Amino acid sequence: MVKIGNISLGNFPLLLAPMEDVSDPPFRALCKKYGADMMYTEFISSEGLIRDAVKSVQKLDIFEYERPIGIQIFGSEISSMRKATEVCQSANPDIIDINYGCPVKKVACKGAGAGILQDIPKMVEMTKEIVNSTNLPVTVKTRLGWDENSKYIVEAAERLQDVGIQAISIHGRTRAQMYKGEADWSLIADVKNNPRMNIPVFGNGDIDSPEKALRYKNKYGVDGIMIGRASIGNPWFFNQVKHFLKTGDHLPLPSIEERVKVVKEHLDFSIKWKGDRLGIVEMRRHYANYFKGIPNFKPIRTQLVTLETSEELYDVLNSITNKIELEPA
């Protein structure tokens, strides 16, 4: 049984990775429904939280059915991260997660996210301050290192455990790699196999099929897998992986009717949570993934990403029928 603090996650949990502009409440609701064992919010700016910025505060919205859920924060100033942790506690999450992995320039080059991998002592100090400022379990999401010459993850993970984190999720790339090339899970396995490590170690990166999930589980011995991009437009992926790990067989692909039904659920919640305009606009990034594999879908997608009202969108969604056959996976 894998546990983060007193939170039981089952024998081999599947975690939804925190993804900016993706893992919001509407998307999380579907991932939970289709098998995610643990989820995280989008990452939230510590500076935004302590300044009460509307966009940052809205990301604190969590719902009872999502539990267990972690709120993920990022920042470069230790005092701001400590204060942000106190703000997060008011939202009553199950876990506080620290983002030490975001590679994008506007975050990393300011010393936040993966940027802190250039200063491991500061990373450890910041983590210690956050652990000491909350009674909630603290977890970390990070990468192998800043670049090929600074893959200090085995040492860093041990030091983070020593100051009190209760789980670590590791993306198998450096910051310099961004999302290019193949994720290297061998160093993730080195962290897991370090005899001094006694907290859960979750692997992340490139898990895009049930077969790969099983192969990496067996090969690298991690405690669970964090799934990111493979779940976008495919919340069914969690149950597909679970079924394959248990039986060795594949679940049937979701039918057109099921896809349309789930897209409507997603759109409904998106509009409810963000308002008509933003709810409609921010759904546009999801349609291509939801209907991946459907031949001649481009004209329909063009409509979905250009229409301005929910009524028009529902009309188009209702016009998609199971007469459209899926291409083989």
| Domains contained in the chain, number | 2
Q: Answer yes or no: is pLDDT of 23 > 70.
A: yes
Instruction: Tell me the mean pLDDT in the region 251-259.
Output: 93
What CATH number did the domain enclosing 10 receive?
3.20.20.70
The predicted structure's pLDDT at residue 17: 95
Q: What average pLDDT does the chain have? A: 94
Strand 3-4 vs strand 7-8: parallel, antiparallel, or unpaired? antiparallel
For residues 24 and 152, state if they share a domain: yes
If pLDDT is split at 50, 70 and 90, which confidence band does 324 have? low
Q: What is the pLDDT of residues 99-137, one digit of tens each?
A: 999 999 999 989 999 999 999 999 999 999 999 999 999
pLDDT at site 329: 42
Q: Is 329 a domain residue?
A: no
Mean pLDDT value of segment 253-259:
92
Residues 313 and 263 in one domain: yes
**324 assigned to some structural domain:** no
Q: Is residue 328 part of a domain?
A: no
Sign of CA dihedral 303, 26, 230, 290: negative
Residue 248 has a pLDDT of 96
Domain coverage including residue 287? 256-319
The strand pair at 224-227 and 138-143 is best described as unpaired
For residues 173 and 106, membership in a common domain is answered with: yes
Stretch 48-71: mean pLDDT: 93
Q: Quick one: 312 and 266 in the same domain?
A: yes
Q: Which residue has the tokens 């301050």?
A: 129
Tell me, what's the pLDDT at 295? Answer: 85
Kindly state whether residue 232 falls inside one of the protein's structural domains: yes
CA dist., res. 251 & res. 123, Å (int) = 42
- pTM (two decimals): 0.93
Q: Does the structure show a pLDDT above 80 at 322?
A: no
Q: Name which of 133, 151, 154, 84 is nearest 112 in CA terms.
A: 84
| 208 plus 263 within the same structural domain | no
Instruction: Tell whether 13 is covered by a domain.
Output: yes
- Domain boundary residue among 194, 224, 247? 247
- Give domain status of residue 326, yes or no: no
Instruction: Summarize the confidence of residues 319-324 as an average pLDDT.
Output: 64
Active site residues: 102
Which pLDDT tens digit goes with each residue over 178-232?
999 899 999 999 999 999 999 999 999 999 999 999 999 999 999 999 999 999 9
CATH code of the domain in which 297 resides: 1.10.1200.80
The last residue of a domain, from among 247, 282, 303: 247
Contact indicator for 229, 198 with CB cutoff of 8 Å: no
pLDDT at 293: 84
CB atoms within 10 A of CB 220: 20
pLDDT tens per residue, range 163-183: 999 999 999 999 999 999 899
User: Are 118 and 216 members of one domain?
Assistant: yes
